[in-house]
Amino acid sequence: MSYGDSREKILSAATRLFQLQGYYGTGLNQIIKESGAPKGSLYYHFPGGKEQLAIEAVNEMKEYIRQKIADCMEGYADPAEGIQAFLKELSCQFSCTEDIEGLPVGLLAAETSLKSEPLREACHEAYKEWASVYEEKIVQAGCSEEHAKEASTVINAMIEGGILLSLTAKNSTPLLYISSCIPDLLKR
Amino acid sequence: MSYGDSREKILSAATRLFQLQGYYGTGLNQIIKESGAPKGSLYYHFPGGKEQLAIEAVNEMKEYIRQKIADCMEGYADPAEGIQAFLKELSCQFSCTEDIEGLPVGLLAAETSLKSEPLREACHEAYKEWASVYEEKIVQAGCSEEHAKEASTVINAMIEGGILLSLTAKNSTPLLYISSCIPDLLKR
DNA sequence: GTCTATAATACGATAGAC
DNA sequence: GTCTATCGTATTATAGAC
């Protein structure tokens, strides 16, 4: 395919690096080098430069995580069990240093929410999408829509915060503590 | 005082900027400019350069937030009410854009946990300190030490995640949702 | 679609004068 | 304690050839 996989390779390297190192911690040169894509092709595929690349990277993270959450929720009738399955998956990365994927969306969101409105909106959309997956499942389990809306936001916050704490502690304990309080959170 | 306030001014500007913009998003030049301190004095007061400055900034955040949590907890017999008072304070910054203080410790932690071991340790110490304030109060209210340890970690995660979500959403709704589920979290 | 070359700027850090 | 000057190296982005 003439419109080959260079674009794809650049975007996937950018997604990985932005998630691990953040927006300002990641240089375009590093992205090109790690992607293995030809150097001259970046601004051809991403004429909007670094900002466009970051926005598309956030969309990649959004879809990747949304799929993971959805897969976990499908496996159980009880939403709490589905969320705990997702937390278990997240906690695995802290067993081996090389497996660490970082803080999806959160790092970019914290760096750029006050500096780039389109990037902030992309991050906001990611959080809304993840919340809607939780929400739907919680409503299906018989909870009120109001409770489901609140709970899904709180779950998003706990998980992002839990990854952050696990990253800082270099172990999965915070994520496991969070997992154990999910059932109580949903009981109402 | 001959050992004047230049050091103090640099550190306080660095603390504010690192919290808002992160480690890689903040340049030494910007810190010097905003501090109003003489340009030549940075490496005199902080011979360890940017990394030392960031570590000391994290310690400033640690103490500032620890004091705020402690003040909130002192005002109430019930730990849940104290935490809710803290969350109310945090949520205020999202009423006015200029008041936003950013994500204390969390942004630096996410950027540098995999890149600088001393910086990671400083962030980890901050989280441990905050948790110990929650923990003590929860134990005093009659809970088991195990439950208090778990709950205080979860509270740390919820609050950091909640600030992140509020920053991204540009409103305090996530923090308020979190506040409303604190009592249930502590009931066990 | 991809290449090289380069512009323009910012970065962190150091040396040496005062 | 502070200043200026500067080194070396990043950065993002663009222009023009192929």
Over residues A82-100, mean pLDDT: 97
DSSP of A44-110, one letter per residue?
A: HH-TTHHHHHHHHHHHHHHHHHHHHHHHHHHT-SSHHHHHHHHHHHHHHTTTSGGG----TTHHHHH
Over residues A30-38, mean pLDDT: 97
Contact A164, A101 (CB under 8 A): no
- B10 phi and psi angles, rounded to 5 deg: -60, -45
Q: Is the CB of B43 under 7 A from strand C?
A: yes
Model confidence at B4: pLDDT above 90: no
| Mutation for A interface: B61, B120, B154, B171, most A CBs within 10 A | B154
Q: Chain-wide mean pLDDT for chain A?
A: 97
Give every CB contact of residue B36 below 8 A, 6+ residues apart in sequence.
B9, B13
**CA to C1' distance (Å), from B48 to D3:** 20
Q: What is the largest CA-CA distance in chain A?
A: 57
Instruction: Return the C-alpha torsion angle A11, A17, A20, A26, nearest 10.
Output: -130
Q: Does A100 touch chain B (CB under 8 A)?
A: yes
Over residues A26-54, mean pLDDT: 97
- What pLDDT score was predicted for residue B2? 38
Confidence band for A4, pLDDT divided at 50, 70 and 90: low
Strand D nucleotides within 7 Å of a protein CB? 1-4, 10-17
Of the candidates B114, B164, B167, the beta carbon closest to that of A100 is on B114
Model confidence at B3: pLDDT above 70: no
Report the distance separating Cα B118 and Cα B108, nearest Å.
12
Q: Does A114 touch chain B (CB under 8 A)?
A: yes
- What pLDDT score was predicted for residue B188? 74
Q: How far is A154 from chain B (nearest CA, A)?
A: 6
- What pLDDT score was predicted for residue B1? 39
Q: What is the largest CA-CA distance in chain B?
A: 56
Of the candidates B107, B157, B169, the beta carbon closest to that of A161 is on B157
| Tokens (6 digits) for A71 | 């897969």
**Tokens 């304030």 sit on residue:** B133
Judged by CB atoms closer than 8 Å, whether chains meet at A156 and B177 is answered as: no
Q: Does B123 touch chain A (CB under 8 A)?
A: yes
Contact B86, B79 (CB under 8 A): no
CB pairs under 8 A between A and B: 157
- What pLDDT score was predicted for residue B56? 98
The Cα angle at residue A16 between residues A11 and A17, in degrees rounded to 5: 95
Over residues A63-89, mean pLDDT: 98
Over residues B160-178, mean pLDDT: 98
In order of their start, the domains of chain B are 51-186 (1.10.357.10)
Over residues A135-146, mean pLDDT: 98
Q: Which of A188, A178, A185, A187 is nearest to A86 (CA)?
A: A178
Report the distance separating Cα B142 and Cα A72, nearest Å.
36
Over residues B149-171, mean pLDDT: 98
Q: Is the CB of B30 under 7 A from strand C?
A: yes
Contact A158, A178 (CB under 8 A): yes
Nearest CA in chain A to B120: A168
Q: Which of B 40-99 lie inside 8 A of A, CB atoms?
A: none
Burial A42-69 (b: 16+ CB within 10 A, else e): beebbeeebeebbbbbbbbbbeebeebb
Confidence band for A188, pLDDT divided at 50, 70 and 90: confident
Q: Chain-wide mean pLDDT for chain B?
A: 96
Over residues A113-121, mean pLDDT: 98
Contact A52, A138 (CB under 8 A): no
Strand C nucleotides within 7 Å of a protein CB? 1-4, 10-17
Q: Is the CB of B28 under 7 A from strand C?
A: yes
- What pLDDT score was predicted for residue A1? 40
Residue numbers in A near B150 (CB within 8 A): 177, 180-181
Q: Is the CB of A30 under 7 A from strand D?
A: yes
- What pLDDT score was predicted for residue A150? 98
- pLDDT tens readout for residues B54-98: 999 999 999 999 999 999 999 999 999 999 999 999 999 999 999
- What pLDDT score was predicted for residue A96? 95
Model confidence at B28: pLDDT above 90: yes
